[in-house]
Structure 1
Amino acid sequence: MLVEQIWTANAYRNFNYLIACPETGEALAIDPLDHRQCLATAKRNGWQITQILNTHEHGDHTGGNRAMVAQTGAKLLAHKNAKDKIRGLDQGLGAGDVVKVGKTVELEVLDTPGHTLSHVCLFAHTDLPALFCGDTLFNAGAGNCYHGGDPIALYHTFIQQLTKLPDTTRIYPGHEYIINNLRFTLDREPDNAQAIALLSKVKLQDPNQAFVSTLALEKEINTFFRLDSPTLIRKLREAFPDLPKDLDPQKVFLKLRELRNKW
């Protein structure tokens, strides 16, 4: 499996992706908002884009569909419940479906509601597994739930699906928000040594060669995985003095999401 992470350098800080089969050169474009960069990258690598996948229906992920289809004839895939939200959908996807690219690439579809209720992630069961996670999971953060989402659904996606993936899973998010997300981590958990060290490192990074996290690292630096951190819970009680004595993980997650919305 060949992966190109494409930095759009736009105001939304989007990443687009191409996943290609090394044998056939067939490629899948994920959320190709910047269709020109995606097409140029495919041409440079000698790849043919035959499929497009939208992780969800928001315009900063679907905005390149029409131009991409017009220039490649690629088939458009997305969550099966997004058929009325994404024009020209050729194939609706559900949990457990497999997206095949060429002869060698197979990507499992995960139904991951939260950011929206019709959101999918793609998981690659390779030697170094990979998760193409759209706006469900960011480096050191989680998707918001402003536009058609549900924070309780997002919590269940994290706990029931994401935490159970292999720790070696590489994380490929839909946006580059790592610096601000790490600052939120340290606002909530000032003694998080991993987050302190990583923030110093990524401040110097070029988004064209972005840092690629792993699930193991996310569990160390991402507040939305660290729901039992004593420091985090103590700071949460300072922000919300009326929290019950017995604080369950879902409540911690929801209060973190509430704080991040305003942070």
Structure 2
Amino acid sequence: MLQIHQFPCLSDNYGFLLHDPASGETVAIDTPDGEEYLRQAEAKGWRITQIWNTHWHPDHAGGNAAIVAATGARVTGPQEVTRIAPLDCEVRHGDVVNLGRWRAEVIDVSGHTNGHIAYHLPQASMAFVGDSVFALGCGRMFEGQPQQFWDSLSRIKTLPPETILYCAHEYTASNARFALHADPENIDLAAYAEEIASRRAANEPTVPTRLDRELATNPFLRADNPTLQARWGGGDATQTFAALRAAKDSF
């Protein structure tokens, strides 16, 4: 079985090391802090052999150089990563990368940035989604357009509902406050928000999350819901998503 080590990085990022005991390979999923990744891998007794970047932002690819210098790790990611770091393997939607015998399917989840991708490991029921979707939220639309971003979220929505989503930031408490504002009659959301408040009060992480829970509670994944559409202007899913994202930006 794959082993996952999650740890805090920078001010609110999470780092992820994914280790395959059978092959001895370890992949760093994004690299917000290269030195911290190296320390964490050493503590686990793992050697980082690969880096999988989701997008080009420095808090996701800024540690590549330090890890490569220390380990010689092979770097895989979308072309946009070359804005700040070299790639060994450029991937796009529909490609497959491997960690030992485990396959990760590359999914276009652009919108936060124009080249953003996710890595879905169907055999392990997990996906590393970067800043495309968060527990009860989604990334800011820095480079994309509403239709593009909604199409990306729609691809995430089609994954098996039991998929565990490993998102990159601890934003859930603030996301929950906006979600309650956006969808106040959602009973499932109210219960989820209470659980989040309790976990954060105990300084526990709220990441990862399950897709089926997000489908029931995350307003950005529910932009095709008639109740939300009526509440946010009566438009279609793309218009509702755009209205929600604009409202969250100024919330």
TM over 0.5: yes
- For normalisation by structure 1, the TM-score amounts to 0.88
The answer to whether the 8 Å contact 1:7/1:15 transfers is: yes
Question: How far is 1:208 from its partner?
Answer: 5.8
Aligned partner of 1:178 among 168, 172, 175:
172
SS at match of 2:110: coil
- Alpha-carbon distance in structure 2 between the residues aligned to 1:47 and 1:211: 23
- Alpha-carbon distance in structure 2 between the residues aligned to 1:231 and 1:179: 23
Instruction: Could you tell me which runs of 5 or more consecutive residues in structure 2 were left unpaired when the two chains were aligned.
Output: none
Aligned partner of 1:91 among 89, 92, 96:
89
- Alpha-carbon distance in structure 2 between the residues aligned to 1:73 and 1:227: 43
User: Greater shift after overlay, 206-215 or 171-180?
Assistant: 206-215
Aligned partner of 2:80 among 64, 79, 82:
82
1:233 aligns to 2:229 (yes or no):
yes
TM-align CA RMSD: 1.8
Question: How far is 1:69 from its partner?
Answer: 0.9
1:253 aligns to 2:220 (yes or no):
no
- Alpha-carbon distance in structure 2 between the residues aligned to 1:96 and 1:2: 25
The equivalences for 1:71-150 within 5 A come to 71-79=70-78, 81-82=79-80, 84-102=82-100, 104-126=101-123, 128-146=124-142, 148-150=143-145
Query: Cα deviation per residue 1:23-59 (whole Å; 9 max; x = unaligned)?
Result: 1221010112122332222222221111112110111
Instruction: Could you tell me which runs of 5 or more consecutive residues in structure 1 were left unpaired when the two chains were aligned.
Output: 238-244
Judging changes above 3 Å, is the alpha-carbon distance between structure 1 residues 59 and 217 closer, same or farther for their aligned structure 2 residues?
same
The answer to whether the 8 Å contact 1:27/1:51 transfers is: yes
- For normalisation by structure 2, the TM-score amounts to 0.92
SS at match of 1:223: coil
Counting matched residue pairs gives 248
The answer to whether the 8 Å contact 1:28/1:53 transfers is: yes
| Deviation beyond 6 Å, 4+ runs, structure 1 | none
Judging changes above 3 Å, is the alpha-carbon distance between structure 1 residues 43 and 208 closer, same or farther for their aligned structure 2 residues?
farther
Query: Cα deviation per residue 1:181-221 (whole Å; 9 max; x = unaligned)?
Result: 11111001112222221222222325664443111100111
- Alpha-carbon distance in structure 2 between the residues aligned to 1:209 and 1:250: 31
What is the identity, as a one-letter code, of the residue corresponding to 2:151? H
- Alpha-carbon distance in structure 2 between the residues aligned to 1:16 and 1:173: 10
Question: How far is 1:63 from its partner?
Answer: 1.4
